[in-house]
Chains A and B, each alone.
Chain A
Amino acid sequence: MDSLRIMKILVLIVMVLTMAMPAASAHRVYVQETITEVEIKAWFGGGDSMADAEVAVYAIKNGEEELYIEDKTDSDGLFYFTPKLGVSEYRVEVSESGHKSETTFALTGGATEDTAEAELPLEAKIGAGFGYIIGIAGIAMYLSVRKSKSE
């Protein structure tokens, strides 16, 4: 008979404990990151910043572009904007009296690759340019000499 009593007491303890437990809320929860500010930097080749340049931000949603903000960069060539909720892809155009460049980026999906890294160094480009000029001069020389010989 002892074991029956122990059982009863155990059941009672479990019941009391269950009642004393805090109510677990079973609502579904959401966590979403929001990037509050995007910094756009625009500069000329050579390092000078594009101050007071016109900026146009296009939001890309489902492959469709929509003009989102039009403004100007500050004196350091910087421009800040708050992304539209739910849109993570943007195309930004910066232009200033005939100079224009654009970048397309997604807020999610990691860092964008640095395009400047993959380019030839400036010295190599200058060398290449002079190479072309000498080549063109050589062709022109050849043509003009051939012409004067045939005369």
Chain B
Amino acid sequence: MHISDGVLSFQVIATGWIIALILNAIILWRCKSRHDMAEEIPKISIMTGAFFVASLVHVSIGPTSVHLLLTGLLGVVLGIMAFPAMLVGLTLQAFLFQHGGITTIGINNVMMGIPALLAYLIFRYGYRKGINASVLGIICGALGVILSGIFLALMLITTGEEFTEIAYAIVVAHIPVMIIEGIITGSVVTFILKVRPELLPLDREV
């Protein structure tokens, strides 16, 4: 789920870059001033690496070719740092794999980063309400994919596509990915909570 060069108009691409850069700047500034980043960096690097190679895992079920995204997983495990981590991952994907375009790194960052942030907020809220973490992980993993699909459909409206039609097509094509990512996110969250619960960014004020 990457947007390639030359699909979107200049205005949309520019807006994407502006939103992405502003959000990245705010997030990095907040993280720097709130907690000790040195402890977080290994975890962020591992997740960035996972995100970077995930797009190579193709799921050839259904009408089109889709690949893993890991938006929900990054959101739940990294918290708001998922957004800058995706910027790094997407840049490497664009240059090395030609997944998505170079001009569209900004808009792709918004398309996958904001669902990651939403997945994080939902996970944290649900966890505090005492909902089972494995179930929440499954929901957030699947939700990350659905929300990214909806964002993609929203961006494609600007090229003259019909929203409900394209959103439906994208979400249906990603059903296998949702199931896989729900399982991945659910099991990773369950594992981390058992082994090192302090790794999850749950007790933080954003």
Residues of A whose CB lies within 8 Å of any CB of B are: 44-46, 48, 50-52, 95-102, 122, 125-126, 128-130, 132-134, 136-137, 140-141, 144-145, 147-148
Interface of B is mostly: helix
Contact indicator B65/A100 (Cβ below 8 Å): no
Contact indicator A97/B92 (Cβ below 8 Å): no
- Which of A52, A100, A129: most chain B Cβ within 10 A? A129
Given contacts A99-B3, A122-B56, A126-B53, 14 further A-B contacts (CB under 8 A): A44-B65, A48-B60, A52-B64, A97-B152, A98-B3, A98-B152, A100-B6, A133-B48, A134-B45, A136-B88, A137-B41, A140-B37, A140-B41, A144-B41
A-B contact pairs, 7 of them (CB 8 A): A46-B58, A50-B65, A52-B63, A97-B152, A97-B169, A98-B7, A136-B45
Contact indicator A45/B99 (Cβ below 8 Å): yes
Contacts of A148 in B (CB 8 A): 36, 38
Question: Which parts of B45-86 form the interface with A (CB within 8 Å)?
Answer: 45, 48-49, 52-53, 56, 58, 60, 63-65, 67
Contact indicator A100/B5 (Cβ below 8 Å): yes
Judge if B97 is at the interface, Cβ distance under 8 Å. Answer: yes
Contacts of B42 in A (CB 8 A): 137
Contacts of A128 in B (CB 8 A): 96
Contact indicator A137/B56 (Cβ below 8 Å): no
Contact indicator B60/A133 (Cβ below 8 Å): no
Contact indicator B44/A99 (Cβ below 8 Å): no
Contact indicator A97/B6 (Cβ below 8 Å): no
Nearest residue, chain B, Cβ from A129: B92
Contact indicator A133/B63 (Cβ below 8 Å): no
Could you count the A-B residue pairs with CB atoms below 8 Å apart for me: how many are there? 89
Choose among B5, B88, B98, B170 the residue that contacts A45 (Cβ–Cβ < 8 A). B98
A63 CB to nearest B CB, Å: 20
Please give me the 8 A-B residue pairs with the lowest Cβ-Cβ distance, nearest first.
Answer: A48-B65, A137-B45, A100-B4, A44-B65, A125-B96, A144-B37, A98-B3, A144-B38
Contact indicator B3/A141 (Cβ below 8 Å): no
A109 CB to nearest B CB, Å: 25
Contacts of B1 in A (CB 8 A): 98
